[in-house]
Every structure is written in structure tokens, then in C-alpha cells.
Amino acid sequence: MEFQDVVRRRKMVRNYSTEPVDPDIVDLALRNATRAPNAGFSQGWAFLLLDTPEDVARFWDVTADDAAHPDTWLAGMMKAPVVILPCSSKAAYLRRYAEGDKGWTDQDEARWPKPFWDMDTAMAALLMLQTATDHGLGSCFIGIPPVREDAVRAAFAIPDDFDPVGVVTIGHAAETVGAAGSSTKRPRKPMDGLVHRGRW
Ligand SMILES: Cc1cc2nc3c(=O)[nH]c(=O)nc-3n(C[C@H](O)[C@H](O)[C@H](O)COP(=O)(O)O)c2cc1C
């Protein structure tokens, strides 16, 4: 698929068929994720892959209010055979930037203009979404409700120095759309109001 087609066709898919996903595409999505730009080549990320029905069901059990009685959104999302949690490690960045070529030996968090660990991991997530689109699969990115994060950590033994930045679901899109996303209810903003040329 042409790159521009990948960009334009990628839409969050919130209803999946139960058709299995080719594991080679999942592997490619993960490998592509590690090609994302990342500050200092810190690579302070890791990816929790859930690709068995048991693990995927456990994920929804610990994150959803009532996985036994799902609404339209949850019922559609729960059918995705693959769930990936991209995780970022602030500690890895602080350590990396304390190395000789960077020299931030005080590991002072105030030095960081933005949380590069989360930014880089989010860029990795986008590459997974785009890889899915490129191979005719559907995907979606969602956050983890803060009140559920501890339960997710406990269920899947996520270490303290890694934070899940969200969730990527991957699967074959169902024939029906399922729950409508925000982009169906809100217009895309025109470029004129977004791009400020030379001066804001
Ligand atoms: C950080 C982030 C969090 C999101 N959280 C949710 C979510 O909780 N539920 C959901 O259905 N979609 C979620 N989305 C998807 C957005 O609604 C979607 O990207 C946006 O409406 C644009 O539509 P598109 O990606 O299909 O083009 C999230 C997207 C991002 C980037």
C-alpha cells in the first residue's frame, strides 16, 4: 500500500471479527514499533503482547466495568484477537541521559522539556497502527483508565519502572462498524486554522 493510502485509510476500528490475525503481521508491527524515533536512542520502551483468548479476556476483565455485560463499544473491542500494551520507562531515559555523551548525571527531571519516554512510545504505537492498516487489518488505540492501571500491572506482572501508555488492539475489522468514534461526530479542523506560517 502507498504510504499516503496507509495514512488516509488508518481509522480506529472498534468492532472486530474473531478471525485470527497472522502472527507474522503482529511480529512486523512490533518490529516496526522499535523503528520509531526515540530520544538519545534510549529505546526505553517495551511491549506487552496479549494474543491468546485467555490473556485477552483477562485484560478486559481487569480494565472493563462489566466485561460479562459489554456495551456496543466493549463488545466490539473485546473481539480483537490481539492486544498490545506499549510501555514506557522514564527510568531508562534518565539513565541513558546520565551517560557521558549526554551528561545529565543529576538525572533531574526538570531538564526534560516534555516526557520523551511517553512521546517515543506513542510514536511506536502509531507505527503499529499503520502496520496493521498496511496489511489490511483494523486497529485501535485507547487509554487505560487510571483506576484500572494497578490491576493491569498485577494481572500481567508489569514491572514498576515501566508504564503502559495505552492499548493497541489489532484484528480483522467486522463487517459492521460497531460503536461510533468521535471522528464520526466532529468535523476535521481545516488546515487554515491549524498552520501558522511565519508567525502565529
Ligand atoms: C491517546 C488516545 C486515546 C484514545 N482513547 C480512545 C478511547 O478510549 N476510546 C475510543 O474509542 N477511541 C479512543 N481513541 C481514538 C480516537 O477517538 C480517534 O483516534 C479519533 O477520534 C480520530 O479518529 P481516527 O483515529 O479513526 O481517525 C484514542 C486515541 C488516542 C490517540
Packed helices 53-63 and 149-156: angle between N→C axes, nearest 10 degrees: 150
The answer to whether residue 29 sits within a structural domain is yes
Q: Are 89 and 45 in contact (CB under 8 A)?
A: yes
Look up the domain containing 52 and give its range. Answer: 12-177
Q: Which long-range contacts (CB under 8 A, 24 or more apart) does 49-57 make?
A: 49/82, 49/84, 50/82, 50/83, 50/84, 50/85, 50/156, 51/21, 51/23, 51/26, 51/81, 51/82, 51/83, 53/81, 55/83, 55/156, 56/80, 56/81, 56/82, 56/83
Q: Model confidence at 77, in pLDDT bands (50, 70, 90)?
A: very high
- What residues are in contact with ligand 1 under a 6 Å CB criterion? 11-12, 14, 141-143, 166, 181-183
Which amino acid residue places its CA nearest to atom 6 of ligand 1? 142
In a domain, 122, yes or no: yes
Give the per-residue pLDDT at 95: 97
Q: Looking at the domain assignment, is residue 40 inside a domain?
A: yes
Residue 197: pLDDT above 90? yes
141 alpha carbon – ligand 1 mean position (Å) = 6
- Within a domain: 143: yes
User: Grid coordinates 499516503 are at which residue?
Assistant: 4
Phi, psi of 138 (to 5 degrees): -95, 155
Is 24 inside a domain boundary? yes
Q: Cα separation of 62 and 109, whole Å? A: 32
Number of structural domains, the chain?
1
Query: Which pLDDT belongs to residue 18?
Result: 87
11-64 confidence digits (pLDDT tens): 999 999 989 999 999 999 999 999 999 999 999 999 999 999 999 999 999 999
| Residue 121 maps to a domain | yes
Q: Residue 92 maps to which CATH number?
A: 3.40.109.10
| Closest atom, ligand 1, to C-alpha of 183 | 21
Q: Worst-scoring range by mean pLDDT, 17-31, 147-161, 176-190?
A: 176-190
CA of 140 to the centre of ligand 1 (A): 7
For the entire predicted model, the pTM comes to: 0.97
Question: Of 142, 165, 188, which is best to mutate to test ligand 1, by the most ligand atoms within 8 angstroms of its C-beta?
Answer: 142
Ligand 1 atom closest to Cα of residue 11: 26
Report yes or no on 2 lying in a domain: no
Residue whose CB lies within 8 A of the most ligand 1 atoms, among 141, 147, 163, for a mutation test: 141
What pLDDT sits at residue 136? 98
Residue 115 located in a structural domain: yes
Which residues make Cβ contacts (< 8 Å) with residue 45, sequence separation at least 6? 33, 34, 38, 86, 87, 88, 89, 117, 120, 121, 124
Span 116-131, mean pLDDT?
98
Which residue puts its alpha carbon closest to atom 20 of ligand 1? Answer: 183
User: What separation in Å is there between the alpha carbon of 48 and the centre of ligand 1?
Assistant: 20
